[in-house]
Structure 1
Amino acid sequence: MTTTAVLITGTSSGIGRATALRLAARPELTVYATARRPGTLADLAGAGARTLALDVTDEESMTAAVRAVEAEHGSVGVLVNNAGYGEYGTVEETDLDAVRRQFDTNLFGLARMTQLVLPGMRAAGHGRVVNVGSMGGRMVFPAGGYYHASKYAVEAVTDALRFEAAPFGIQVSLIEPGLIRTEFGGTAARTLAGSAAPTGPYAGLNDAADRQMAQSYRSRLLSAPPEAVAKVIERAATGARPKTRYVVTPAAKLLVHSRRLLGARVFDAYLRQQFRATA
């Protein structure tokens, strides 16, 4: 039986892992689950996925992974650009080397993986690219400007790619999750804590941001498990008419539309209430 090759980045945990597990259960798909350390993917291999080493900040690693899939299938049928993380801190205090590393993963890795699979997709006359962005590509919270900037950039690249790739039979979708209960929240909190001195000028704001993140990720009303995103990625990867955008979680949909309708001044007033420093 001929199967469609699905290449997913960043599957060692969270959304990527849940997506690999879900898609590996479909007999018409051959799922390639990837991570910098493939030894972390044993459970995915047991579930039927094939595993590859892939670091989206390393050219040789990316090229080798794509070549391995193309050697067996001719082309990558679906690329899921999932790898990413949050580097948090204020604009003034965050180390720019850390910001560059974040963009290397969140944007440039995504872009390079896309460049590598497109020639094969064009030759095949079909393919799909599913980019995992964030509701943070549509709105901004304080102490997260650089993370949001990387996701705004993913929005722009995805919009351009969708138009450019369409004549070749390649469909492009953007997934915009809200708060998802993964390791992302913990990583964001650690980078926020390490971005500035505890008694610095933004100490109150950083404390408030840390408190808001902790409360929001604990909330079952505001957050969702990674399986909720995996289900949506499955629709984008396999549906007959995939949407251009999928906002995931009811809370994310409410926030995105509220930001659009309220405008900057009113939304800033809302943020001042939410991120008010405590004595």
Structure 2
Amino acid sequence: MTKTILITGSSSGLGRATAKHFHAKGWNVVATMRNPEREEELIRLDRVLVTRLDVQDLASIQAAVDAGISKFGRIDALMNNAGYGAYGPLEVTSLDKIRRQFDVNVLGVLATTKALLPHFRANRSGVIVNISSGGGRVTLPLGTLYHGTKFAVEGLSESLHFELAPLGVRVKIVEPGAIKTDFMSRSLDFSNDPQLSEYQPLVQKVLAVIGPMMEQGAPPERVAESVYTATTDDSNQLRYEVGVDVVELLGSRRSMDDAAFLGGMRTQFGLEG
């Protein structure tokens, strides 16, 4: 029986690459996005349903789940991928942006997962793959909101890993490092006020790091392969690190105490003292 995955944020980047990878592996794909009327590629593929899902719109989440089940009979896996990155000094970041960051990256994951749980519970099976980040384990300066949400995804996923196991539902966390996508232009929302001069040296250093880091990142197709592995390996493994950069970074973090690791980060960003 052909299996089906529902993917949020399929319009670009990792979501699109994963939709195409699962399709190539013979799966049915419910490729969801906020503006499906703009999609031109995925709609031409057989076994792919392109439909609307905005993780901030509960009705659209349920409608997408219902449409996927109606089209393919069942849904076997969920990839919570839709995301957004708010960076910049907290002092200059609006409450609207703060709310959006947590609405999309945390509440959206919970709402979409919750919508599929009755179906998974009835089937006594299912896989939930939550896209976290190396930034869910370690942080960069000025990433208070983004890292806060990814740390939250790590915690909620680990707890759900225990909670859902008796129901036959496995929970996985994929932790990419930098991914070579249009994240910088499409999904990075950087707040700054140049008049607050105290923050500007750090702002310039962080921007100088983020740009080259993303350009040197892993291709989204490589991360999609890891999502497929996490979905299909039938193991109880919880975390999947993807990319040389994140494997090295998290390895360093595990090998050092807080004083050594955080001291090294402060030195890298000129935050001595």
Q: Structure 1 length as normaliser, TM-score?
A: 0.91
Q: Is the 8 A contact 1:176 1:248 kept in 2?
A: yes
Which runs of 5 or more residues in structure 1 are unaligned?
none
SS, match of residue 39 in structure 2: helix
2:137 matched residue in structure 1: 138
Question: Displacement, 1:198?
Answer: 5.2
1:217-228 aligned at under 5 Å gives the runs: 217-219=214-216, 223-228=217-222
Question: Displacement, 1:188?
Answer: 6.2
Corresponding letter in the other structure for 1:110: V
Q: Is the 8 A contact 1:11 1:41 kept in 2?
A: no
Q: Distance in 2 between matches of 1:156 and 1:16?
A: 22
- State whether structure 2 residue 270 is matched by structure 1 residue 272: no
Q: Distance in 2 between matches of 1:218 and 1:5?
A: 32
Question: Displacement, 1:19?
Answer: 0.1
Which runs of 5 or more residues in structure 2 are unaligned?
none
Q: Distance in 1 between matches of 2:195 and 2:236?
A: 46
Question: Displacement, 1:108?
Answer: 0.4
Q: Is the 8 A contact 1:89 1:196 kept in 2?
A: no
SS, match of residue 142 in structure 2: coil
Q: Distance in 2 between matches of 1:141 and 1:188?
A: 17
- State whether structure 2 residue 209 is matched by structure 1 residue 212: yes
Q: Bigger CA drift: 16-25 or 45-54?
A: 45-54
Corresponding letter in the other structure for 1:93: V
Corresponding letter in the other structure for 1:139: V
- State whether structure 2 residue 232 is matched by structure 1 residue 234: no
SS, match of residue 92 in structure 1: helix
Q: Is the 8 A contact 1:85 1:106 kept in 2?
A: yes
Question: Displacement, 1:74?
Answer: 4.5
Q: Distance in 2 between matches of 1:133 and 1:244?
A: 12
Q: Is the 8 A contact 2:7 2:31 kept in 1?
A: yes
SS, match of residue 180 in structure 1: coil
Q: Distance in 2 between matches of 1:216 and 1:118?
A: 36
Deviations 1:239-275 (Å, cap 9, x if unpaired)?
Answer: 2326211011011011112123222222222223322
Root-mean-square deviation over aligned CA pairs: 1.7
2:198 matched residue in structure 1: 201
Q: Is the 8 A contact 2:49 2:68 kept in 1?
A: no
Query: Of residues 251, 260, 264 in structure 2, which corresponds to 1:257?
Result: 251
2:28 matched residue in structure 1: 30
- State whether structure 2 residue 82 is matched by structure 1 residue 83: yes
Q: Bigger CA drift: 250-259 or 85-94?
A: 85-94
Question: Displacement, 1:84?
Answer: 0.4
Deviations 1:208-235 (Å, cap 9, x if unpaired)?
Answer: 100111122233xxx2111111000011
Q: Distance in 1 between matches of 2:147 and 2:49?
A: 32
Identity %, equivalent residues? 39
Q: Is the 8 A contact 1:235 1:242 kept in 2?
A: no
Query: Of residues 27, 45, 48 in structure 2, which corresponds to 1:47?
Result: 45
Corresponding letter in the other structure for 2:37: G
Q: How many residues align?
A: 270
Q: Distance in 1 between matches of 2:160 and 2:72?
A: 23
Q: Is the 8 A contact 2:8 2:80 kept in 1?
A: yes
Q: Is the 8 A contact 1:11 1:17 kept in 2?
A: yes
Deviations 1:146-197 (Å, cap 9, x if unpaired)?
Answer: 10000000001101111111111111100000000112233565x32x3323
Structure 1 segments (4+ residues) deviating >3 Å? 72-75, 186-189
Q: Bigger CA drift: 168-177 or 74-83?
A: 74-83
1:57-96 aligned at under 5 Å gives the runs: 57-96=56-95
SS, match of residue 241 in structure 1: coil
Q: Distance in 2 between matches of 1:128 and 1:10?
A: 18
Q: Bigger CA drift: 236-245 or 81-90?
A: 236-245
